[in-house]
Amino acid sequence: MIPLLELRDVALAFKVPRGVRGRESLLAVDGVSLHVEDGECLALVGESGSGKSTLARIIARLVAPDRGEVLFEGNDLLALGGADLRRVRRALQIVFQDTFTVFSPRQRVRQIIEEPLVVQGLPPATRGECVRRWMGEVGLDQELESRYPHQLSGGERQRVALARSLVLEPRLLIADEPVAALDLPVQVHILDLLDRLRRDHGLALLFISHDLSAVERIADRVVVMNAGRLVEEGTVGEVLGRPKDPHTRALLDAMPRLDPRPTAAQNALGPDSSSPSGPNQVSIPRQ
Ligand code: ADP
Ligand code: MG
């Protein structure tokens, strides 16, 4: 079966000015191969600067890789044009932690969410209905539709960003630290929303996160990135419960654990394997 998304040996180096030695390049993404199946949630974790956002930007065609292939439903994403590209643009959406900063401060919430539908050429009646439906789906009160971005809370703004990325009913959502800047209850709500969209709409997720409890909550599989390379891959239980790579272990030790209760995988390893308590530990409710 053809994966929904497949990356084959993708690499990208940035040119960086470096003192007297002149320009050097930094290998931000270094030979990454991965796949996301239909309706699956793949978590991409890694320390800051490991190349996660660059990889997300390559998949979203915001930046071209130096080498490698990006296949969406088996089609070479980097070679698509015209109607094929428009179709894929609908099916593959991305939401960043700070997505909202790219929105115009002079657009109202309704217009912001509606814009992708305008670009895709949908008729006005359908657009209005879609906007209302997705505002409801992400838990935004209908009366917020005439507000401007600065008149919203952080959580409301992120929900607007999410509604905008979901309004075209994509098959894959790349979510780059989508809840990192939000308060804990809002984080939980949005994670549950993404999880529900997976179940109700068959949405696949490439979920980029620092937060282990978020990963445990919604991901099926995890890949770990370090210095541009994938260093580990497996199910959530395998990677978080029995990490093989030293980078993964270091990352697990450094990551804040929002939920101090041990995972099923940790339970299986016995009491000594649970991580020590720390100042970052806050309990979040699980359903
Ligand atoms: P992450 O999202 O995992 O924190 P990034 O993909 O943002 O990592 O960055 C990976 C590396 O590439 C970092 O060293 C970063 O400084 C560098 N980088 C990212 N974007 C650029 C750019 N536009 N120009 C130069 N270097 C960049
Ligand atoms: Mg990033």
Ligand 1 within 6 A of CB of 228: no
Three-state secondary structure string covering the chain? CCCCEEEEEEEEEEEEECHHHCEEEEEEEEEEEEEECCCCEEEEECCCCCCHHHHHHHHCCCCCCCEEEEEECCEEHHHCCHHHHHHHHHHEEEEECCHHHHCCCCCCHHHHHHHHHHHCCCCHHHHHHHHHHHHHHCCCCHHHHHCCHHHCCHHHHHHHHHHHHHCCCCCEEEEECCCCCCCHHHHHHHHHHHHHHHHHHCCEEEEECCCHHHHHHHCCEEEEEECCEEEEEEEHHHHHHCCCCHHHHHHHHHCCCCCCCCCHHHHHHCHHHCCCCCCCCCCCCCC
Distance of CA 86 from the midpoint of ligand 1 (Å):
28
Ligand 1 within 6 A of CB of 278: no
Ligand 1 binding pocket mutation candidate from 54, 207, 210, 229 (most atoms within 8 A of CB): 54
Ligand 1 within 6 A of CB of 58: no
In ligand 1, the atom with minimum distance to the C-alpha of 51 is 6
Q: Tens digit of pLDDT per residue, the chain (287 long)?
A: 899 999 999 999 998 876 555 667 899 999 999 999 999 999 999 988 999 999 999 999 999 999 999 999 999 998 998 888 888 888 999 988 776 666 788 999 999 999 999 988 899 999 999 999 999 988 899 999 999 999 998 888 888 999 999 999 999 999 998 877 777 887 888 889 899 989 888 999 999 987 878 898 899 999 999 999 999 999 999 999 999 999 888 888 876 655 544 444 444 444 443 343 333 333 344 43
In ligand 1, the atom with minimum distance to the C-alpha of 16 is 25
Query: How much is the pTM?
Result: 0.85
Ligand 1 within 6 A of CB of 16: yes
Ligand 1 within 6 A of CB of 28: yes
